[in-house]
A = this chain, B = another copy of it.
């Protein structure tokens, strides 16, 4: 499939030139039908498999940050160990499975929209997100 022009557009929109490495990142991120969650390490490994060649961590970080700033990716903080990124850039909620450290999207019709009665003077709400931590029954609570 010739998604390549889509990828070059996204890169240019993000202020980046389309290069071999960056196009491969795009392929991994934007060709799957389903959105997904990943860490920088996940992504780097996937790319090195597909590319059969090393890619520099600096390139991955740079590209991911540019996409995040442009709004083509979201960053999700679960614990402070490492960052998770999300190719689903719509505002949505998450389950986090503490047994497997896995993030699971929550469809908007799985949660009633959150009704906030308070506001901070002089501040605008930028996002409202719910995080539901789950674990198998016989598990020590976090």
Residues of A within 8 A of B (CB): 71, 75, 77-83, 95, 97-99, 104, 106-107, 109-112, 114-118, 120, 122-137, 139, 141-142
Contacts and interface: CB of A to CB of B under 8 A. Distances in A.
Contacts of A127: 131-133, 141-142
B134 A131 contact: no
Contact of A83 (B80, B122, B141): B80
Lowest 4 CB-CB distances: which A-B pairs, in order?
Answer: A110-B118, A123-B134, A112-B115, A126-B133
User: What is the count of identical protomers in the complex?
Assistant: 2
B123 A136 contact: yes
A124 B134 contact: yes
Contacts of A77: 77-80
A95 B117 CA distance: 12
B106 A130 contact: no
Contacts of A106: 116, 118
B98 A114 contact: no
A130 B129 contact: yes
Contacts of A114: 111-112, 114, 130
A114 B77 CA distance: 20
Contacts of A124: 134-137, 139
